[in-house]
Chain A
Amino acid sequence: MCNTPQDNPLNLCQVPTGASVWVVALEGGHTSRRRLNHLGIHAGDIITVRRNTVFGGPLLISVHHTTVAIGKGLAAKIKVKFVANGLQSQP
C-alpha cells in the first residue's frame, strides 16, 4: 500500500476509509464541478474519507470542517493523491 504509484492520481472512490488525500483536479462538466465547488471542494483542498464501502452507497467525506455525503458517480470525478503522511489507511 505504501508504494501506491504517486504519479497517477486516483479517483476518490479508490481511497480507503480513514485516508486523507488532496484534490488534484475536478473532472466532469460544468455542473458537477460547480456542485463540488459549492461545498468548498477545489483543486488543492484536503479531503478525509470517513467512510467508503464496497457496496453501492455514497462516500462520507470530511472537508473544510463539514461532513458531506457524496455519490460514487460524482466521487469518481474527483482526482486525488495521498497526502504525505496519510499513506497508510487506518485499520
Chain B
Amino acid sequence: MVFKANRNIHPQIVLVGQPNCGKSTIFNTVAGYKSISTNFPGVTVQYTKSHITVDNRVFDLVDLPGTYSLISSDRAEFEAKKYLLNNDIHTIINVIDASILSRSLELSLQLLEFKLPLIICLNMMDEAFRKGISIDSKLLSQILQVPVIETTGIKGTGIGSLFACAAQHINVNRQPLQYSRHVEQVISALARDLSPVVHHNHRLPSRLLAIKLLEKDKFFTSLYPVDAQLKHKIDRHEKKLYKDHGQVAEEVISSDRHSKAMNLFENVATLHHPHKSLRDKVDDILIHPVWGYFFMLGLLFLFFIVIFQFGSIVETPILKMLDAGLLQLGRIFNTQSLTYQIISGMFQGIVGGIAIVLPYLLPFLIGMSLLEDSGYLPRVAFLMDAFMHRIGLHGVAIIPMMLGYGCSVPAVMATRILASQRDRFIVSVISILIPCSARMTIIFGLVGYYLGGAAAFGIYIINLVVIILTGKILSRLMPEDTPGMVLEMPSYKYPAIRVIFAKTRLRMKEFIIIAWPLLIAGSIVLGLAQWYNFDVVLNRVLSPLTLLLGLPVETGTTLIFGLLRKELSMLMLFQALGTQNLSAVMTSVQMFTFTLFVVFYFPCAATFGVLLKEIGWKRALLASCATIVLAMGIALMGRGVGSLF
C-alpha cells in the first residue's frame, strides 16, 4: 500500500508592491505582528510567511520585499522574481500606494506580464485624498480586467473585503496589456521564436521571456542562456527597435510602459487642489537648512534624556529589592552550599532582567518605533547627506546606522537599501560598532547609573568619533564614487498606537524569550562554574586582556558571555563579582573602561550571523576581529584618560 504524503500545502496569496506602499502593514493586520514595518522605503528585505484564515479556508500569506520594478537586478527584485517564477502562486495582491498611482502602475503592468492570478489593492486612499487625487477604481478595474479594492491599511479599512476578494479570485489568471503596436509586433515575433524554449515551463509565458531578454534582464539571461541561432534573432529584433526608435530595446520598452502607465493614470484619476496641511508646513521646518538641524539634534538629545531619566528612576528601587532578596536567600539557604549558588544565580538572572534591561529597553523601543513610523528617518538622511559625503558615503547610509541604535541585526540587513557593494560593506562594519539597545542598557545601567548621565553621554560621543573615523578610513581604503543618493521622502504619518504597541511587543519578546532565559541560564552556569572553580581557569586565560585594561580579573568570564548577548556582559558582573553594589568592587575608571570595551568588541552571535550572510565570511571575520583590536585600543585610551580625573 502506498501512502501519499500529506504535505498540507495551502493555497498561496502573495503581497507584491513598491517599497513603502504599506504591504507590511497589511500583512501584520491579518497575520499578527510578524514583519517589521516602518515608514521608509526598502525595509522588508526578506519575505515573511504566515497562515491566515479567510472564510474558513486556510491560506499561506507571503510578504515579498518591496520592489520598484521587476527589471533591474538588485537583490530585492531578484528575490521577488525568483519567488514569482518558482512557486505555485494562487493569487498576487498587488499593493499600490494610491497617492503615487502613476508610478505604481508601472509595476502592475510588469506583474501582469507574468500572467498570474492577480488583484489590485489601492492602499493609502486617505493619503491620495489629501494630495487631491481621486481615483475611479471601477474604471481602473475595467481597463486592466482585474478586481480593484480600496483600502487604508493603517486604519484597517477595506482589509476584510480585500482578502475576501483574494480568496474568490484564486487561480484566475490575468492577461497583460499590449504595448504600442510597433513594440508589440517585435515582442510577439520574438515570443513565437521562444516558445520552444519555454514549453516545458508552465510558469514562464514566452511573451514575458521575450520582453526580459530584450531588456537584457540579468536574472533571465543567466537562467535561459540562448543558442547562437536564437541570439541572432534577438539581435535582429533589438536592431529593429533601435532603428525605429533611436534607443536601445530596454529603453524603448521602459518608455512605452511608462507612457502606458501615465495614460492609464490620466484616465482613471482626477486631480483637485491638494489640501496644504499642517504636515507640509511642519515638513518645511523639519528639513529647513538651519532649523532642521536644530530640531534633529534637539530630538535626539531629548530621546537620550528621557530614556536615561526613566531608566534610572525605575532601576534604583528594583536594585534595592534585589539586594534585600539576596540577603533573604542567604538566610534560608547556607551561602556555602551548591543549592545557594544555583538559586541565587537564577534569582540574579531573573531580577537583573527586570531591574536593568527593561527600564531602559522599553522607553527606547517605544521611541524608536515612533521615529520609524512617523517618516522622520528619511528626513534625517536628507539632512545628513552633505555630512555623510565627508566620510565617503551618502545620506541613505544614515538609515542602517540609525537602526543600529536599536539592534545591529536589522541594521546590517538594512544596508541592502544601498546601491553599491562597497557602501554596503562600509556601512555594515560601521553599524556593528554602533551601540545597540543591549549595549545601551550597559551604558545607562552601569556608567550612567554609577557615574552619571554626562559619562554615559560621553561614551556615545566617543563612539560617534570612532565611527566617523572608521568610515573615513574605510572609504579612503576603498575609494569609489558613490552612486549618489536617491531617496523617496514618504509622507508623514501619525504613528498608530496599535502598531507602536505591537512593534514594541514584538521586539520585547525578542528579549524576553531569547535573552532573558539565556541570562538566567548564564547566571546559573556561572554559579556552577564558580562552585567548581572553573571560572578561575577562564579568567586566567583572559587575564592578559583584563590586566591590560586594569579590570578585575573576574570580569573575564563576563566578556565571554557577552558574545552571546551583549547585555550578559554587564548582568553577569553581579554574579561574577558577587555583589549588587558594583561601586564597592569596581572603580569609576574600571566601569568606564569595561563599558568602552564591551561597546566595541566582537559583535554578538546573532549579528555575526547576519554579517556572514551579507558581506561573506572572510570580510565578516576580518571586520569582527578588527573590532577586538579597536575595542582594546579605545578601552586603553579610556583607562588612560579616566585615570587623570
Residues of A within 8 A of B (CB): 31-40, 42-44, 51, 53, 55-58, 60, 64-74
Contact = CB atoms under 8 A, between A and B. Distances in A.
Contacts of B150: none
B118 to A, nearest CB: 21
Contacts of A56: 385-386, 389
Given A37-B258, A58-B385, A60-B287, A71 B69 contact: no
A37 B381 contact: no
A66 B103 contact: yes
A71 B103 contact: no
Given A38-B69, A56-B386, A65-B102, A31 B485 contact: no
B254 interface: yes
Contacts of B378: 69
Contacts of A70: 484-487
A73 to B, nearest CB: 4
B100 A66 contact: yes
Contacts of B254: 37, 42
Contact of A58 (B71, B481, B483, B485): B485
Interface residues of B, number: 36
Nearest to B258: A42
B423 to A, nearest CB: 12
Please give me the 7 A-B residue pairs with the lowest Cβ-Cβ distance, nearest first: A71-B484, A40-B103, A38-B68, A56-B386, A71-B485, A73-B484, A74-B484
B428 to A, nearest CB: 21
A55 to B, nearest CB: 7
Nearest to B20: A66
A69 B386 contact: no
A28 to B, nearest CB: 10
Contact of A65 (B133, B289, B382, B487): B133
7 contacts: A32-B483, A39-B68, A42-B254, A60-B489, A65-B100, A69-B486, A74-B484
Contacts of B394: 71
Interface of B: 68-69, 71-72, 99-103, 106, 131, 133, 251, 254-255, 258-259, 287, 289, 378, 381-382, 385-386, 389, 394-395, 419, 481, 483-489
Contacts of B69: 34, 37-38
Given A37-B258, A66-B100, A31 B419 contact: yes
A40 B102 CA distance: 8
**Interface majority SS (helix, strand, loop, mixed), chain A:** mixed
Contact of A42 (B99, B131, B255, B419): B255
B484 A72 contact: yes
A56 B389 CA distance: 9
Contacts of A44: 259
B488 A43 contact: no
A37 B103 CA distance: 9
Given A65-B99, A67-B489, A70-B487, 6 more contacts: A39-B488, A40-B258, A56-B386, A69-B486, A73-B481, A73-B483
Given A65-B99, A68-B489, A40 B385 contact: no
A73 B386 CA distance: 12
Given A35-B486, A43-B255, A69 B395 contact: yes
A69 B484 contact: no
Nearest to A67: B489
A64 B68 contact: no
| Residue of A35, A65, A72 with highest tally of chain B CB at under 10 A | A65
B385 A57 contact: yes
A72 B481 CA distance: 13
A86 B451 CA distance: 60
A34 B258 contact: no
Contacts of A74: 483-486
A3 B16 CA distance: 47
